Amino acid sequence: MAHILHLDSSPRGDRSISRTLTKEFITDWKATYPKDTVTYRDLGHYPVPAVDEPWIAASFTPAESRTTELAVAIKTSDELIDEFLAADHYVFGVPMFNFSIPSTLKAYIDQILRVNRTFVVNNDGYEGLAKDKKMLIITARGGTFQNGTPFAQYDFQEPYLRTAFSFIGITDITFIHADNLAAGDEVRQQSLTAARAAIEKVVATW
């Protein structure tokens, strides 16, 4: 039995493509694996706080030495990391904003990439602590940024997410891009059909 952390980062509601597709994935997954459990976090509507100076001080202070102020400053980060590490699989919905990710997701990543919690520094450099897990990231993009296309160099979304999560040990990452969504109805439907076919494949093989 696996546990999934399902996370959406779009600020939109029912009109969100990324939310729609992650919901379809989770619905199909639960129908296929009814004993699996899911935790849901909605960053788009309920953002987490940004890192600030007390957070930084607390993260580099041993827990037993933290003042009440520092303990409060790091409390949300501890809760988010506990939730994150408890999962076996991750399903993230991520719209592309200005060639990258929403600020709400960046704030979340800043909260969970933390020394001695999700990575350590040793004689060999950095070692991620979130190992042996799988991640699916479903994106929604107005254009196309696939390798070999004219705008591939503008994609700071997938490379950043791969780097950030592989840094903490998650290297088995699958991307499904619902792209070209602003290219007209026919192209949009072709992209959504391809994304849904890819979702079905992941459900069957993950």
C-beta of residue 168 within 8 angstroms of C-beta of residue 108: no
How many Å apart are CA 166 and CA 138, to the nearest integer? 17
What is the per-residue pLDDT for 53?
Answer: 97
Taking the model in full, what pTM does it have? Answer: 0.95
Residues 122/126/130/133 CA torsion (nearest 10 deg): -130
Which class does domain 3-205 fall in? alpha beta
**pLDDT tens digits for 22-37?**
999 999 999 999 999 9
What is the per-residue pLDDT for 190?
Answer: 96
Query: Which phi and psi (to 5°) does residue 178 adopt?
Result: -90, 95
Mean pLDDT of 152-171: 97
State the average pLDDT for the chain.
97
Residues 6+ apart with CB under 8 A from 167: 113, 119, 126, 128
| Beta strand residue intervals within 22-124, DSSP E | 37-42, 89-95, 119-122
**pLDDT tens digits for 104-153?**
999 999 999 999 999 999 998 999 999 999 999 999 999 999 888 899 99
* DSSP 8-state code for residue 18: H
